[in-house]
Amino acid sequence: MVGARRSDSWGFPRWGGYGSSRDTVTVRLCDRQGCQEAGTCPAPKSPNNPDRWMFCQKHAAEYNSGWDYFAGLDAEETAEREAAERQTHEGYQEASHYGWAPSGDGTRSRDELRALEVLGLGPDADYDAVKKAWRARAKEVHPDVRPGDAAAAKAFQALQLAYEVLRAAEERREWAG
């Protein structure tokens, strides 16, 4: 037994990791002429064709930058294909950030956003715009301007509450900042 040699992976426990072997591994090279990198990124050869080029990451990015999925189609066929693609991937659009998150930049609470809605302002309105909108709307529905109008009184109470919520939030920001 002069020429015999033991391997590291005999018996139990195995000293090497499972799946690690010393066998040769076939590596497909990038299909770009002259590139010696491994071709790990598949790219379609043409639309609706199962054949793929295998590029390295650099050449796949270069190839995809010039790829036009709708090349050679008229406007109607383009719209059909786009609609078919959207139909199969519709659920992913719902999961995007704008579908789930409230509007604004995330610095306002839900109560503040509701108060801004009552005042007819967007989620990014500053406090000066809040004061202006409150004054303008309060003048329209104030009980002194519309005595005996129950709807106007209710609207005025809603405006007053919205203003109080936004004023308290502004004061908190001033104290924190």
CA quadruple 88, 90, 95, 98: dihedral, nearest 10: 150
CATH number listed for the domain at residues 110-176: 1.10.287.110
Q: What are phi and psi of 34, to 5 degrees?
A: 85, -5
pLDDT digits (tens, 9 = 90+) for 13-27: 555 555 556 666 788
Q: For residue 105, which of 80, 135, 83, 125 has the smallest C-alpha distance?
A: 125
Contact 49, 23 (CB under 8 A): no
Average per-residue pLDDT for the chain: 79
Residue extents of the structural domains in the chain: 27-71, 110-176
Helix or strand or coil: residue 54? strand
For the cut 90, the answer to whether the pLDDT of residue 6 exceeds it is no
pLDDT digits (tens, 9 = 90+) for 94-130: 555 555 555 556 678 888 889 999 999 988 888 999 9
Cα 35 from Cα 61, distance rounded (Å)? 14
Least confident range from 45-49, 79-83, 119-123, 127-131: namely 45-49
